[in-house]
């Protein structure tokens, strides 16, 4: 077909004029013939005008600049602001406090039922072919009040990096800078522990807060899977953490994450001790690995921390190991994980610079969970945990927790959810340390979780 259909039609019209003239009867009147010629001439003129307009449009399109696109290569900068807001209202039963008269159920506001409420800023700059500089700052706060999440640690005792144990900091979830390339990434600063990274895909509850019912107990979120099993929050003895953020982050850490090689990813971390006169005292080192092949996921890690005993001036060893496995069967995914934390007998300084001695203790946790996608927008989750603590002779509590959840995805970044959990404790020798001294407790909540993310490119 001709590239200019209008020119083709003009030539046909010209031929039609000649044919019409030749075929006209000899006796046709001059006026009728003249009218036909004029009509055809007007049509030819119209087609010529359309052809001229078409050529002008083609020239303008060729001269127009190409649409602007984000630059690529060295100097390309990307900034992402992201986060999540999560809030729930529910009822907690069988609450125990220091006053027996105040025991009973209560309706309350829950923070972070489905996911933590946080605000993060992540940036990256391409500085060479295949090499990117990056940073991240991330803070977790309470939806109920807007206050910063208070308990923050990263080590069992105070250090030159985190000040008083449990003090509040602005970027409690992350504050690091690093480089990423074809051989992996190296990040420096406060960041997620190696123990968390190793089993992040196989956490039994899928990171749902199934510990609402024991929120008033000392062992509400002590989770040895991630090293959150035991902290020195009580004078003279180890006790469990009081926040999901405790010990799930490490301060002053140098962390390397390899690229995936045949489904295997290696993670290694090291935190200098910062103790004068010793290169090992106060140090923390960890190594972990994850493996993904098709529907199968595996993860494991080992962490060793060397706090210094302030009396003997020798370092002792804190050890954590964990492992987990997950598998997806179509719409059903199942996960199982376990961990064990062993803490030594040691004397440490507390926040007031007072010596506090601790006897040896350990904690272990085992969990199993499953999530079933009822539809593309609705899924249900169930998980069961068994936590055991060996704190002192005659004081070996155990906490069993059952959690159930249902989520409805209103939009790609917005979920409605309902949670239920039941916790029971035993074997604590009437020490009133688990579930506030109660034998069991329940909690139910409904909530809304909304995530957001916005990118800026330059």
Q: What CATH number is attached to the domain comprising 95?
A: 2.40.160.10
Task: Answer whether residue 320 is part of any domain.
Answer: yes
Residues 24 and 86 in one domain: no
Please report the sign of the dihedral spanned by the C-alpha atoms of residue 32, residue 34, residue 37, residue 41. negative
Residues 442 and 350 in one domain: yes
Distance from C-alpha of 76 to C-alpha of 132, rounded to nearest angstrom = 9
Residues 37 and 177 in one domain: no
Task: Answer whether residue 116 is part of any domain.
Answer: yes
> What's the total number of domains in the chain?
2
Q: Check whether 58 has a pLDDT greater than 60.
A: yes
Phi, psi of 386 (to 5 degrees): -125, 120
Residues 131 and 48 in one domain: no
| Higher pLDDT, residue 245 or 191 | 191
- Residues in contact with 221: Cβ distance below 8 Å, sequence separation at least 6, in sequence order: 211, 228, 240, 241, 242, 243, 244, 246
Task: Answer whether residue 72 is part of any domain.
Answer: no
Q: What is the 8-class DSSP label of residue 226? A: T
- pLDDT number for residue 60: 66
Residues 250 and 364 in one domain: yes
Q: 415: pLDDT confidence band, cut at 50, 70 and 90? A: very high
Residues 178 and 316 in one domain: yes
Task: Answer whether residue 204 is part of any domain.
Answer: yes
Residues 16 and 124 in one domain: no
Residues 263 and 298 in one domain: yes
Phi, psi of 75 (to 5 degrees): 95, -15
Distance from C-alpha of 99 to C-alpha of 55, rounded to nearest angstrom = 90
DSSP string, 416-445: EEEEEEEEEEE-STT-S-SGGG-SEEEEEE
Task: Answer whether residue 440 is part of any domain.
Answer: yes
Distance from C-alpha of 271 to C-alpha of 48, rounded to nearest angstrom = 80
Residues 368 and 329 in one domain: yes
- pLDDT number for residue 428: 57
Residues 319 and 424 in one domain: yes
Task: Answer whether residue 68 is part of any domain.
Answer: no
Contact of 419 with 447, CB cutoff 8 Å: yes
Tens of pLDDT, residue by residue over 248-297, are 788 889 999 999 999 999 999 998 887 777 777 778 899 999 999 999 99
Q: 68: pLDDT confidence band, cut at 50, 70 and 90? A: very low
**Mean pLDDT to the nearest integer, 237-252:** 52
Task: Answer whether residue 30 is part of any domain.
Answer: yes
Query: Burial of 394 by CB count in 10 Å (0-12 exposed, 13-18 middle, 19+ buried)?
Result: exposed
- Residues in contact with 49: Cβ distance below 8 Å, sequence separation at least 6, in sequence order: none
Q: Which residue range forms the structural domain that includes residue 145?
A: 77-457
Residues 202 and 239 in one domain: yes
* Top-ranked range on mean pLDDT: pick from 16-25, 71-80, 328-337: 328-337
| Higher pLDDT, residue 25 or 277 | 277
């Amino acid at each position: 077909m001709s590239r200019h259909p209008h020119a083709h039609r003009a030539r046909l019209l010209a031929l039609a004029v000649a044919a019409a003239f030749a075929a006209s009867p000899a006796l046709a009147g001059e006026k009728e013939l003249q009218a036909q010629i004029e009509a055809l001439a007007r049509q030819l003129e119209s087609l010529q005008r359309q052809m001229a307009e078409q050529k002008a449009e083609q020239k303008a399109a060729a001269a127009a600049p190409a649409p602007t696109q984000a630059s690529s290569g060295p100097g390309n900068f990307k900034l992402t602001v992201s986060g999540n807001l999560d809030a729930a209202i529910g009822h907690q039963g069988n609450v125990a406090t220091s006053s027996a008269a105040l025991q009973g159920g209560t309706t309350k506001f829950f923070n972070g039922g489905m996911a933590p409420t946080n605000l993060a800023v992540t940036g990256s700059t391409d500085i060479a072919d295949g090499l990117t500089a990056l940073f991240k700052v991330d803070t977790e706060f309470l939806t109920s009040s807007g206050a910063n999440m208070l308990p923050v640690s990263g080590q069992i005792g105070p250090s030159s990096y985190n000040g008083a144990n449990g003090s509040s900091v602005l970027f409690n979830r992350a504050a690091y800078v690093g480089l990423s390339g074809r051989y992996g990434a190296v990040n420096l600063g406060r960041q997620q522990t190696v123990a968390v990274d190793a089993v992040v895909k196989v956490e039994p509850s899928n990171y749902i807060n199934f510990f609402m019912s024991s929120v008033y107990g000392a062992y509400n979120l002590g989770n040895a899977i991630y090293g959150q099993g035991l902290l020195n929050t009580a004078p003279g003895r180890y006790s469990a953490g009081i926040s999901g953020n405790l010990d799930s982050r490490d301060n002053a850490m140098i962390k390397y994450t390899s690229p995936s090689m045949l489904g295997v990813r290696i993670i290694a971390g090291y935190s200098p001790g910062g103790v004068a006169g010793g290169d090992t005292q106060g140090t923390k080192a960890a190594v972990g690995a994850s493996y993904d092949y098709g529907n199968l996921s595996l993860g494991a890690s080992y962490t060793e921390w060397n706090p210094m005993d302030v009396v003997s001036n020798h370092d002792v060893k804190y050890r954590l190991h964990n492992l987990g496995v997950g598998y997806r069967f179509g719409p059903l995914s199942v996960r199982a994980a376990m961990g064990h934390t062993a803490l030594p007998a040691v004397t440490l300084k507390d926040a007031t610079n007072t010596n506090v001695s601790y006897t040896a203790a350990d904690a272990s946790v085992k969990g199993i969970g499953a999530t079933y996608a009822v539809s593309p927008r609705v899924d249900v989750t169930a998980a069961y945990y068994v936590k055991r603590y060996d704190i002192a002779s005659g004081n070996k509590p155990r906490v069993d927790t059952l959690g159930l959840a249902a989520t409805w995805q209103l939009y790609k970044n917005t979920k409605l959810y309902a949670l239920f959990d039941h916790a029971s404790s035993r074997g604590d020798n009437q020490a009133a340390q688990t579930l506030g001294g109660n034998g069991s407790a329940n909690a139910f909540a409904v909530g809304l979780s909304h995530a957001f993310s916005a990118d800026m490119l330059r």
